[in-house]
Structure formats: C-alpha cells, structure tokens
A and B are shown apart, each in its own frame.
Chain A
C-alpha cells in the first residue's frame, strides 16, 4: 500500500515526514551496535518476506507482515521498514520519494502499536493462545495500515473519501490472510526459538519478555 508522489496535500506530507523521522530516531536510539546485525538481517528478512505471494481467491497478494515485524522489532520496526521502503522506491520504483515519510508512518506505526498490544499475548503459555494473539496482531496491523492510508488521503481531499472507504473493505480478505500467516509464524517461532521475540526488544523495553 504505497502512496505515490503528488497525491497528498503538502500538510499531510510534511506532518507524516516529521512523525516518521521521530519514529526512526526513537527506533535507532533503542538499537545499540550489538543488536545492529540482528536488526539488519531481520530487516532484510522482512524485505524478502514481502516478495512472497499468497493465493487469495482467483488472484494472489504479496505479504506485508508489518504486524510480525512489530512483534519482533518493536520500535526498531520504524528504521527497518523505512530502509525497505527506501530501497523499494530507489531500485524498484515502488512508492515515491516525497511520500517516503508518510509511507513509513503508515506501515511502521501499526507495527509498533501491534507490538504494545500483542507482545504479552504471544508470550502466553498456551501455543493456541499465542497463535490467536499473533493472528490478531497480523490482521490488526493491515487494518491499521489501510486505515492510516485512508486517513492520509481523506485529509488531502474529500474527493478521495469514497475510494478510500471502498479500498478499506476490499482489504478485509488480505487482513484475514495476514492474520493466518502471522499466527502460524508466531507458533513456529515459539516452538523453535522462543527468544526470537526478545532478541531486539528486550533491553529496549526494560521489561522481561520471555
């Protein structure tokens, strides 16, 4: 869901950029040099995961996985997803340049929100409960991202509102797919390497997450 250059009002572009810069700054502050390799490799993993196509009805969609990125990276999701968007824009022509801040905000802010809402849930003793929380996080992140995109457009002009509404409802199947895939990914990570979810975020949050 990359917005392109020229669609948004100047105020929205500037506001989005300011918030995105603040988010990236916060993410980097919580990322000591020790954790840089882990954050970098995870950032590359999410980049590759966004290339995976999942069948949905007669068509297919690519994964976004920003919910899972939030659960694994916490605030570091901001710089990590920004890097992904920057590379996509520069080398693949996806998205835009002046809207880079808004696009980062739309993808990374839901990731951070999911991190705070679901991080305790995915640490639940029962794997089923953890899977459900992971699924909630995965679906919620897409819902929030679509909602943020719709808000950015609606703030730019009333003429975008009907399309933004329609697109939100058209994304419901994608939310479900992302929820199922994220839930399964959480289950596998919990079984194989439970410390994955604390690898980046542990010292950052100063709380003990298992």
Chain B
C-alpha cells in the first residue's frame, strides 16, 4: 500500500473528505448499502457492454463525490502485482481460439475476454466504493456501520484504528528519522532486516504502553464498555431519490443482462 500513500502524507487523511457535494448530503447508511448492492450486481454481470456501463456510472459518482480525479483513478488502477500477473496470464491459460503465440504459448480470445471482464468488474466496484463510502469521514463510516447493526466490538475496533493510525504513523516517522540520524540506510542485508524488525517490535511495545494510558484515561471519564455515538442520522427525501435512482439503475442492468 506504500506506493499509494506517500511517506510524507498522513495515513488516513487526504481521503477527499469534508468537500461539499450532492453526495455528502445523502445519508451515509444509504451510501454504504448502495455500494454493497452495486458491488453484488456488478460481480454478477457477465456482459462486457453492461460492465462498461457500470464503470461509467462509477466514474459519474466519483465526479459527483468531488473526489480528486487523478489520485482516485490511480488508486483504482493500482492493483496488487500478484493480481495483475494473474490477469495477464489468463489469455494463455484459458483454452479457446488462439489470437497469437508467445514462446509456443497461445493467447486465446476466451482468455482475453475473461481478463477484461475481471479488470472491468474490479475497477468498477472499487471506484464506486471509494466514491460512495470513501468520500465520508472515517468516523462517519463507523457511525453509519454501527447504525446498520454491525456489532459494537467491531465498531470500537474500527474507531480506535481510525483514531490512532495517524498518531502511530507519526511515531513510525520519528523512529525512522532517529534511525536515519544514526546512519541507517536500508539495503539487502541482515542488518536491515534486523533493524526493521526491531522497529516493528518497538512500535508494538509503544502501542501497548500507549493503550494502557488510553484505557486509564477512558476509565477516568467513566468508560463502561460503551462508546455513545452522538450524531443523529436521518433518512430524508434526498435519500429516497438516491435509493430509487440506484435501484432503477441496478435493476436495469440485471434486466438487460437477463434479456441479452
């Protein structure tokens, strides 16, 4: 994930939050449910034209959500090398009509089609997810999930992670700076792997000590195992329009898939 996040950037900031848009007025719960429905429908399709329509819709939502276009598209396209490799090999591993041969391995139309299908699905779903859910404040995501009856324990874990990722990222940078000041330069050697291992170990030790202070502070403020969520979420008229629009679009995709 490191190539997505520049070292100088703070981890869970710069997610395109706090920008006013039509989408930001829609209830976070509707947005989460919409992104899940969108993902399920897109994954179920297998017509390439309909998948392109899905990708176009996801792009439209991204523009509407006012996400920074270039970095969002870059993130969308940044898949694991593992998966890229796998998709690239598909034309050669699926049997069918050959297009061309490389070193005696024939690439087939069927394989190419499957590779394109996976690439379209993966990109459409992740783009819609980033646009619908990723444009919220991470804390709002936690609140909305809690209102959608996700277990409290999981929500607390999510909120703690969101809260402390930034803090720990800065601590990591401080430790790295201290290592640099002492002449540490990473390379292909045992010293590097040992030093980075010590770094991770040290971060864990500091994390557990920090968590003891946090628990103390929380108890001091009367923590009983529940964290009250103060904001009220309301399902408004905008949400009705949004839900109807989303349902109509996904319904049309399914209907076309079944008739084509």
- Which A residues have a C-beta under 8 Å from some C-beta of B? 1-7, 13, 24-25, 28, 31-34, 36-45, 47-57, 62-63, 65, 68, 72, 79-80, 82-84, 86-98, 149, 153, 159-164, 166-167, 177, 180-189, 192-193, 196, 199
B30 at interface, CB cutoff 8 A: no
Tell me whether A53 and B78 are in contact (CB under 8 A). Answer: no
With the chains together, A160 CA to B163 CA distance in Å? 39
- Given A4-B79, A4-B83, A5-B39, A88-B1 contact (CB < 8 Å): yes
In contact, B134 and A86 (Cβ under 8 angstroms): no
CA distance A63 to B196 in the complex (A): 10
5 tightest Cβ-Cβ pairs between the two chains A and B: A40-B160, A184-B197, A6-B121, A188-B201, A33-B225
| A44-B207, A45-B168 known; A80+B157 contact, CB < 8 A | yes
CB pair A153 B11 closer than 8 Å: no
Chain A, residue nearest B75 (CB):
A93
Residue in chain B with minimal CB distance to A176: B193
Contact between B93 and A93 (Cβ–Cβ < 8 Å)?
no
Known A-B contacts A159-B114, A163-B89; A45 and B4 likewise in contact (beta carbons under 8 Å): no
Count of B interface residues, CB-CB < 8 Å: 92
Contact at B118–A98, with CB atoms within 8 Å? Answer: no
Smallest CB–CB gap between A150 and chain B, Å?
A: 10
Q: For B215, list chain A residues within 8 Å (CB).
A: 34, 37-38
**Given A79-B154, A94-B78, A98-B125, 6 more pairs with CB closer than 8 A:** A43-B160, A44-B207, A94-B1, A160-B93, A162-B93, A196-B208
Q: Judging by beta carbons under 8 Å apart, are A180 and B197 in contact? A: yes
Of B18-26, B183-191, B236-244, B246-254, the stretch lying at the interface with chain A is B183-191
Interface of A is mostly: helix
Q: How far is the CA of A43 from the CA of B165 in the complex (A)?
A: 9
Partner among B11, B83, B153, B198 whose Cβ is within 8 Å of the Cβ of A7? B83
Say yes or no: B153 contacts A90, CB within 8 Å: no
Q: Which residues of A contact B199 (CB under 8 A)?
A: 52
In the complex with contacts A41-B164, A98-B43, A167-B86, A36-B72 CB distance below 8 A:
no
> In the assembly, what is the distance between CA of A108 and CA of B207, in Å?
20
B-side interface mostly = helix
Residues of B within 8 A of A161 (CB): 93
Q: A49 to B203, alpha carbons, bound, how many Å?
A: 9
Please, which residues of chain B bring their CB within 8 A of the CB of A40? 156-157, 159-161, 163-164, 211
Q: Smallest Cβ distance from B164 to chain A, in angstroms?
A: 4
Establish whether residues A43 and B205, one from each chain, have CB atoms under 8 Å apart when the complex forms: no
Q: Which residue of A lies closest to B172 (CB)?
A: A48
B228: Cβ under 8 A from any A Cβ: no
A76 to chain B, nearest CB (A): 8
Whether B36 is near chain A, meaning CB under 8 Å from some CB there, is yes
Q: Complex formed: what's the CA distance from A50 to B205 in Å?
A: 17
Q: In the complex, what residues of A have CB within 8 A of residue B35's CB? A: 97
Whether the pair A98, B117 counts as a contact (CB closer than 8 A) is no
Interface residues of B in 142-194 (CB under 8 A from A): 151, 153-154, 156-165, 167-169, 172, 186-188, 190, 192-194
* Complex Cα spacing A174 to B79, Å: 18
Q: Are B156 and A91 in contact (CB under 8 A)?
A: no
Contact A79 B93 (CB under 8 A): no
The answer to whether B93 touches A189, judged by C-beta atoms less than 8 angstroms apart, is no
B55 to chain A, nearest CB (A): 12
